[in-house]
Structure 1
Amino acid sequence: LKEQGKQLIKIDKWFPSTKTCSNCGSVKEVGLSERTYQCTCGLSLNRDYNSALNIKKEGIRLLSSAA
């Protein structure tokens, strides 16, 4: 990663990335069989994509707080 000018940021393994809305931040329980994350704010995304957005946001937050 260093050669590519990148950095690895580790987030807490218990971070609720699949339960958190990547748009408004609300948290709700999501069953394993649910493949689409739907929030009361109107967001409707693939569950894995929503989780990836949350992980990216958390990594950026951790990186900025370490500076």
Structure 2
Amino acid sequence: MREVRELREKSSEDLISELDRLRAELVLIRSKTVAGGGLEKTAQIRNMRRRIARILTILRERGIKL
């Protein structure tokens, strides 16, 4: 819950930039996994996807569609 509160305090521009950063990082992690390099932290992908979903939810609540 603390994470959601912190996200809600950020501006929309900050959320969009963090969303772009997380999506790019997720692509890199997935490409490493496909290339045969295993993940040390398997929950990392799931946590990143959830954080992306939280950011998108907050942006949509504010009326910003991406």
Higher strand proportion: 1
TM-score, normalised on structure 2?
0.37
TM-score, normalised on structure 1?
0.37
More RCO (CA 8 Å, sep 6+) = 2
Higher helix proportion: 2
